[in-house]
Amino acid sequence: MFSHLLKLMWNKRRANSLLFLEILLAFIVLFGVLGFCFFNLDRYNSPLGFEYENTWQVELDIPDDLDSTGNHQLQESILREIGSLPDVEDVAFLGPVTPFGGSTWRSGGEHNGQNISAMIMFPDEHYAETAKLNIREGRWFVAEDRIAKTATMVVNKAFLERYGSPGGSLIDTIMVYNGIDRKIIGITSDFKYHSNFARNEPLVFLFDRYLDEAEDPLEYLTVRVTPSAPASLEEDIYKRVALLTKSPDVTINRLANERVQANQPITIPMTIMVIISGFLLINIALGLFGVLFTQINRRRSEIGLRKAMGATGGEVTRQFILETLIVTLGGLLIGTFFAIQVPLLDLLPIDDKFFYWGILGSIVIILTIVMICALIPSRLASRLHPADVLHEG
Amino acid sequence: MTTSQPTISTNQTPAGNAMIELTNVGKAYRTDTIETLALQKMNLTVPSGEFLSIMGPSGCGKSTLLNIMGLIDEPSEGTVSLAGQRIEGYNGNAIARFRNEQLGFIFQSFHLINDLSVVDNVELPLLYRRMSGSERKRLSLEALARVGLSNRATHFPNQLSGGQKQRVAIARAIVGKPNIILADEPTGNLDSHMGDEIMDILLKLNEELGTTIVMVTHDERMAKKTHRLVRLSDGERVS
């Protein structure tokens, strides 16, 4: 029967060419959208590595005219004052590179002849506790590291994977980074701060306790509050910080909101693409319905004939579903041929698996829709009575 | 619409060698307001190997009778026995199988599938049997040879004349080696020369294979070539 239907569909290839083209185009679009979605969802699934719920970020304005002692005293006072507020669980200073802030500070170095390139953040010794970082190896900074003989740094897992030896450790390794020798004292788990969709890139935490590498004071506070913290806490923080810094320039943002905004460059186009693809699939479904209903109306006498010749209702249903599947599989086969060129020829710098998932996902979605759309008209065809339809044509 | 389960009873074999036996068969078409009687109290026995023709004016129930014999329509009353088997249900797979194995159909308008070649059209009934593709093809070519169309096997229906199309339809009707062939005005769309050709083929099939043939026709000349003629009028048998 299958070879009979193949012949029939081949002989009707002109009539089926539009349906074939529609399936092919839908596959290509769906493949692109699914590949994009799978790629980004994979990134989304890799953890940020820090706490953003119930975490506020306070941007403050430390006076420029303070000497280093005055600056240290002011920062300690701010930590003490904010930390003492009810509903504040932890508080830490952070340099100009902040989670979801959109800024990047990148520097390089060298180790055993290997060039090192990584992003930098400037936390204080309280940041790991405040942001709930997971230290997988070694330790986080302590205040004494500021005066240690060799400068210290903590790196993330991506740094270890990029620059460490397989299965080895980088703890106590001394490497030149950003111009001076630094000893790695700790390695965090995954840590990425741009957004959930950001790549896991090598990152280095550098520590001076009060200053960043440009010797500017750390001007961001990370404040972790209790889940029941009232909105008035924002006002308390604002007042105390403004009083201590003698500046009204204090901005308080919730990291959870910042995260949503930081994700938007991906979530908005992804949503638009999914909606467009959804409409495309609805269009295909309606098109299929229309084509099948028209075909069945045109082929009523053929259906009657087949039933008179001994076809059961189930066999008629199967025939129409198989015919639709043959056209669909033709479109999917050609579509897969083109789609598979992307990973095979390395046309995009993205892991091949996302393209294969995209191909598989597109095939499954299109086949499912086609099966559902083919089933109803095919079942209607199977109910045609030969005595009625054989005398029509 | 019947809700009875499709069954074919074999324990009520009709007397003698009757291939088709209709007993008190009636057919009524009902709408909300009108009941039309297409057939009334029809009793008819067709012995095995007989070539029977049915005549009557338009709307007298000839095609309805043929449809009932072909199990593609269900009588409102009465019983139908074919090839020694009493038919008791009309909607199931068993009836479809029975049609496939026991019955061959020839239609006035040929009902060939234009997107299939001649040989593929002929093998149509065999698709619904468990059979290899090569066996199907062999039997189809054999049937085409019997109607003298071997050289047209790869042609398409729109490349054939009316007479050739009907010969393809005959080949399709006999390819499954059915006991009964039901022909609904097989020469109705053909000129007299082609009609004679088709009639000769049917007569030869009847003689050589012993196939029972029931033919509905408007053509008295064709009807006279058959073994017996039954006339209908207003759904009733008049001779």
What is the total count of domains within chain A? 2
Asked whether residue A320 is domain-assigned, the answer is yes
| Bridge partner list, A251 | A59
Helix ranges (H only) for chain A are: 2-11, 13-45, 68-83, 127-130, 157-163, 232-245, 255-298, 300-308, 313-339, 341-344, 352-382, 386-389
How does the average pLDDT of chain A come out, rounded? 90
- pLDDT grade for A154, boundaries at 50, 70 and 90: very high
- pLDDT grade for B11, boundaries at 50, 70 and 90: very low
Is A201 or B190 the better-scoring residue by pLDDT? A201
The alpha-carbon gap from B113 to the nearest alpha carbon of chain A, in Å, equals: 7
Looking at the partner chain, which of A4, A387, A393 has a beta carbon nearest the beta carbon of B127?
A4
List, for residues A214-260, the tens digit of each pLDDT value.
778 888 999 999 999 998 999 999 999 999 999 899 999 999 999 99
Chain B residue numbers with beta carbons less than 8 Å from the beta carbon of A319 are: none
Give pLDDT, residue A274: 92
Indicate if A269 and A239 belong to the same structural domain.
no
Chain B residue numbers with beta carbons less than 8 Å from the beta carbon of A304 are: 111
Chain A residue numbers with beta carbons less than 8 Å from the beta carbon of B116 are: 7-8, 11
Looking at the partner chain, which of A3, A7, A312 has a beta carbon nearest the beta carbon of B93?
A312
| C-alpha pair distances (Å), A208 with each of A125, A171, B120, B227 | 9, 19, 86, 115
Using DSSP's 3-state secondary structure scheme, residue A166 falls into coil
Give pLDDT, residue A111: 86
Asked whether residue A238 is domain-assigned, the answer is yes
Structure-token pair, residue B138 = 């062999």
Indicate if A276 and A301 belong to the same structural domain.
yes
Of A86, A155, A149, A152, residue with least CA distance to A117: A155
Q: Is the pLDDT of residue A312 over 50?
A: yes
- pLDDT grade for B1, boundaries at 50, 70 and 90: very low
Indicate if A308 and A381 belong to the same structural domain.
yes
Q: What average pLDDT does the segment B182-191 reach?
A: 87
- pLDDT grade for B6, boundaries at 50, 70 and 90: very low
Give pLDDT, residue B136: 92
- Worst-scoring range by mean pLDDT, A7-21, A125-139, B50-64? A7-21
Asked whether residue A313 is domain-assigned, the answer is yes
Structure-token pair, residue B49 = 């190997």
Residue located via tokens 């009520």? B12
Indicate if A81 and A171 belong to the same structural domain.
yes
Please give the single-letter amino acid code of residue A269.
Answer: P
Indicate if A135 and A279 belong to the same structural domain.
no
Chain B residue numbers with beta carbons less than 8 Å from the beta carbon of A305 are: 105, 111, 113, 124
Asked whether residue A20 is domain-assigned, the answer is yes
A317 CB-near residues (< 8 Å, 6+ apart): A375, A378, A379, A381, A382
Give the whole-angstrom CA distance, residue A24 versus residue A22.
5
Asked whether residue A103 is domain-assigned, the answer is yes
Indicate the length of chain B as a whole number: 239
Percent of chain A with pLDDT over 70: 98
- What is the residue range of A280's domain? 2-46+264-389
Whether this prediction's pTM lies above 0.80 is answered by no
Q: Which CATH architecture has domain B8-237?
A: 3-Layer(aba) Sandwich (3.40)
Q: Is the pLDDT of residue B2 over 50?
A: no
CB A103 within 8 A of CB A228: no
Using DSSP's 3-state secondary structure scheme, residue B52 falls into strand
Q: Is the pLDDT of residue A213 over 80?
A: no
Residue of B nearest to A393 (CA): B109
Is A55 or B196 the better-scoring residue by pLDDT? A55
Indicate if A231 and A309 belong to the same structural domain.
no
Q: Is the pLDDT of residue B7 over 80?
A: no
Give pLDDT, residue B13: 37
Q: Is the pLDDT of residue A299 over 60?
A: yes
Q: What average pLDDT does the segment A176-196 reach?
A: 92
| Centroid of chain to Cα A259 | 12
Phi, psi of A178 (to 5 degrees): 55, 40
Give pLDDT, residue B3: 38
A140 CB-near residues (< 8 Å, 6+ apart): A125, A127, A128, A129, A133, A154, A186
- pLDDT grade for A284, boundaries at 50, 70 and 90: confident
Give the whole-angstrom CA distance, residue A169 versus residue A315.
65
Give pLDDT, residue A210: 67
CB B213 within 8 A of CB B48: no
List, for residues A346-363, the tens digit of each pLDDT value.
888 888 999 999 999 999
Is A311 within 8 Å of B133 when comparing Cβ atoms?
A: no
Asked whether residue A117 is domain-assigned, the answer is yes
Query: In this complex, is the C-beta atom of B99 within 8 Å of any C-beta atom belonging to chain A?
Result: yes
Give the whole-angstrom CA distance, residue B233 versus residue B60.
5
Of B35, B88, B89, B70, residue with least CA distance to B178: B70
